[in-house]
């Protein structure tokens, strides 16, 4: 057999092997990313339905405070509960320049706070505002 043909066949085999390895790695990366997205609140169908409901609903009441979710931004919470734009920033002593376009979970992470405890503090602040008549 011709040495050039042998060498070409080896290059083709190496190339095919590299393509298969690259494809396997890409599929593995896709699966990892899909599972990550699946676990996040963004991919949860229930959360999507809740978001759609909240967008169509008028200002929410004290009984709706449990609907506050980590993916929501402060601006979104302010609109849902008809809060003044700076109320939560002042009440929670926030200084992030991205407020109010900052998600609750991002704010908790940035300030090294427990996410659930932070959501509870946001809920309490909203509850206080609504029960005290907006004072």
pLDDT digits (tens, 9 = 90+) for 9-65: 888 999 999 999 999 999 999 998 887 776 665 556 666 666 676 667 667 788 889
Please report which confidence band the pLDDT of residue 92 belongs to, taking 50, 70 and 90 as the band edges.
very high
Shared-domain flag, residues 49 and 101: yes
Shared-domain flag, residues 75 and 13: no
Task: Provide the mean pLDDT of the chain.
Answer: 85
Shared-domain flag, residues 50 and 34: no
Give me the mean pLDDT over the 93-109 stretch: 90
What is the per-residue pLDDT for 70?
92
What is the per-residue pLDDT for 1?
58
Shared-domain flag, residues 33 and 67: no
Shared-domain flag, residues 35 and 49: no
Shared-domain flag, residues 63 and 102: yes
Residues in a beta bridge with 69: none
Give me the mean pLDDT over the 71-98 stretch: 91
Residues in a beta bridge with 73: 103
Shared-domain flag, residues 87 and 127: yes
Q: What percent of the chain stands above pLDDT 90?
A: 47
**Structure-block tokens of residue 53:** 């409901």
Domain region containing 35: 3-39
Shared-domain flag, residues 9 and 60: no
Is the sign of the CA dihedral 65, 62, 74, 89 positive or negative? negative
What is the per-residue pLDDT for 108?
93
Does the pLDDT of residue 99 top 80, yes or no? yes
Report the 10 Å Cβ neighbour count for 70. Answer: 19
Shared-domain flag, residues 32 and 50: no
Give me the mean pLDDT over the 70-94 stretch: 91
């Amino acid at each position: 057999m011709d040495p050039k043909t042998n060498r070409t066949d080896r290059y083709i085999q190496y190339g095919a092997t590299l393509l298969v390895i690259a494809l396997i790695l890409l599929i593995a990366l896709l699966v990892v990313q899909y599972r990550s997205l699946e676990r996040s609140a963004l991919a949860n169908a229930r959360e999507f339905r809740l978001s759609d409901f909240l967008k169509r609903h008028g200002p929410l009441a004290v009984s709706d405070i449990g609907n506050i979710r980590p993916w929501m931004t402060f601006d979104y919470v302010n609109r849902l509960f008809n809060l003044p734009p700076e109320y939560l920033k002042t009440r929670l002593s926030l200084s992030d320049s991205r407020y109010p376009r900052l998600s609750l979970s991002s704010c908790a992470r940035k300030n090294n706070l427990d996410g659930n405890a932070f959501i509870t503090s946001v809920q309490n602040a909203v509850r206080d505002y609504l029960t005290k008549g907006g004072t």
